[in-house]
Amino acid sequence: MSKKKILSVVLAAAMVASMAAVSAISTSAAENRTIYFDSKGLGGTAAATRGVYYCYAWGSEGGELYAWDNKKLRMKDEGNDLYSFEVPKQNSKGEDVNADLIIFHANNGPQTYDTTFDANCFGDTAYVTETLLENPVDSEKTAYGCAWKNNPSQGAHIAITSTGKVQGVGILSTETPQSIVDNFVANYQKGMEEHKTGYDKPELISAEAQAEYLTEINEIINSHSEPTDPSAPTSDPSAPTQKPTSAPTSAPTEKPTSAPTAAPTEAPTEAPTTDPYGRIPGLPLMENMNLPAKDTNRDSYIEAGAPEDWDGYFNVYYFAAPAEWETNEGKVDSIDAIGFYWFCGSISNSWPGEAATALKDADGNQVTYKVEDKDSPYNGKELNVYYGFAPSFATSIIWNNGVADGEHVDLKVQTEDIKVDDPSSTGNLADIVFEESNGDIDGVSVAGCINYIYAAEKQVNGLTGVEQTVNKCKFLFYNPRTGETTTQALKDANGNYVTQYSDYWGETVALNPYFDMDYTHVNDGEVPTTPEPVTLPPTDPSTDNPTTVTSPSSATNPTNSTNPAGVKSGNDNSGKGVVATAEGTVAAMLGTVLVAAVAVAFVARKRRESEEA
């Protein structure tokens, strides 16, 4: 072959490659699926929510991308209260999902109303409007309206509420104005047949009313044709004019000036310390406590939607319970004092949860905790301590007095939703570490900590839109064997935080100062795991940078970074060996029924069983 022919072949190949590259670039550009969210108006600024926002998306024809609060739905901080999210085409199982509905929600609470979007919204910015919208099924529940800056035909989903109010601006490609009216009529008729509260006005589905709904929906669709600007947002003409007095948030407003401590409670002698920092190996448990065995109820959890690669372990949490919560009046039969409820998306134990267990010392005496916080209504009081176990994939816990909905609903009291899965959002402990480290450390893991109530306030529940009184809690690192508590995470001899990098969250996390939080004891029938020795890096006294400690058994155990379902373990250590409990204990089974029903696609789908209509 001549040199010219060879050159021609090379040039032809180069042109083909070039065209392929151009095609790939064009395809890549066309498939940009990034949306943006201006978080102002939803839980305050990034500082108030630790900059954690989620984007929950699902398809109106069925299928969600990932479960509520899944790590893969966490939005990227672009600065100046702007967040981004690339909407995937497939769910966690690799199935195609044509997502056309979305909810933005802030860490620990407030969320937007169901918001429509289509391909034109990729690259656009959504923002919170000045209105609250009614839940279509229960008009007592509300959520924040949402709109798109450059796509006025998309936004708060058009719906007719149970009071006959037409609201929203966005219609789905799978809908028509007539289908919206027809669905409302069918749902209202069903509500009347089931004698549901609020479904007692047949005139709302009369022929005259239906004609008015149709006219109003068409007017809304026709009126939203010009781009809107969030710098001067226009109120949704179909939405209520009521505005919240303040953006609800569950982040503590004050930080303790000193670490509250409790008078030591008589307890068994501590186990020998083998940690270089003087910490006790294992989880913070009394010697007479029974931790649920590894993989307890695994099949049921997996069937309900828990991650298939769940590590199988359970975390312990403690609560200083108000005396008035312990009375028996109005409680469900299974709870005689305090209820312990945990959840992760649609997976939970049934409200009000399982009975929390009173913490007893070796002699069988009730362990108490004296609250030392001037802001707490229980300041100076000795409160009984209770504990509960939640699977490590649980995202939140709630302590309550064991009263369910029904004839005694007025007696029901509970704490706020207490986030336990994200080290950067765990209330006061995360705030303290974040500030003291100048933002170098994102937060802490709160497994093994104790909660106490420091305030009670009315706020709009971010999951249900209902205004309610909640008891706000603080976390304390807790040693149940001595009664000691502190707000200070583990530090080395030079006063620098000892940290561990969490592959799962991509964050640097401070550690428990009392226990190494590794599973170092087996329940009956389990095989012990020998932890790797802790390797300490050299410490330079002249630097203020935190020291990092290697997880004891990370070399032989999988980390949460490989979790395809994106559900975070409350115990941030990647090492999962065995747990320090009493010798030869028999694992306690969680005697609860899992709730795994997939709810309908509107704001009410996120409410807890205790608050369902």
Residue 131 CA: distances (Å) to CA of 100, 136, 195, 238, 603: 22, 15, 30, 10, 15
- For residues 229-255, give the mean pLDDT: 36
If DSSP states are collapsed to H, E and C, what string results for 501-518? EECCCCEEEECCCCECCC
Residue 478 pLDDT greater than 50, yes or no: yes
Domain assignment present for 21: no
**Residues 32-72: tens digit of each pLDDT:** 899 999 988 786 544 456 678 899 999 988 788 888 777 78
> Residue 129 above 70 pLDDT?
yes
Q: Are 338 and 319 in contact (CB under 8 A)?
A: yes
Same domain, 239 and 308: no
Identity (one letter) of the amino acid at 261? T
Q: Bridge-partner residues for 509, per DSSP?
A: 443, 500
Strands (E), 93-242: 101-106, 115-116, 125-134, 142-148, 159-160, 166-167
Domains: count for the chain: 2
Do 303 and 242 fall into the same domain? Answer: no
Q: Is position 270 within any domain?
A: no
More confident residue, 19 or 589: 19
Instruction: State CA 305 to chain mean position distance.
Output: 16
Domain stops at, among 247, 264, 280 = 247
pLDDT of 541 higher than 60: no
Distance, in Å, from the CA atom of 613 to the CA atom of 609, rounded to the nearest integer, reads 9
What is the rounded distance in angstroms from the CA atom of residue 351 to the CA atom of residue 340?
9
Which of 20-29, 440-449, 485-494, 604-613 has the weakest average pLDDT? 604-613
Mean pLDDT of 308-314: 85
User: What pTM was estimated for this model as a whole?
Assistant: 0.56
Residues 234, 308: one domain? no
Q: Considering the domain boundaries, does residue 376 fall inside one?
A: yes
Q: 263 in a domain, yes or no?
A: no
Asked if 242 and 316 sit in the same domain, the reply is no
- pLDDT at position 44 is 54
Query: Is 530 inside a domain boundary?
Result: no
DSSP 205-232: GSHHHHHHHHHHHHHHHHH--S---TTS
Residue matched to tokens 């950067």: 424
**What 3-state class would DSSP assign to 10?**
helix
Rounded-to-integer distance, Cα 485 and Cα 499, Å = 19
CB 55 within 8 A of CB 70: no
Q: What is the pLDDT of residues 298-307, one digit of tens each?
A: 988 888 888 8
Residue 472, C-beta contacts closer than 8 angstroms, at least 6 positions apart = 250, 252, 415, 416, 453, 454, 455, 456, 457
117 and 198 in a common domain: yes
What confidence category does residue 142 fall into, taking pLDDT thresholds of 50, 70 and 90? confident
Q: Are residues 470 and 457 in contact, defined by beta-carbon separation less than 8 angstroms?
A: yes
Domain-located, residue 446? yes
Report the pLDDT averaged over residues 496-523. 81
**Range(s) of the domain holding residue 306:** 298-488+582-595
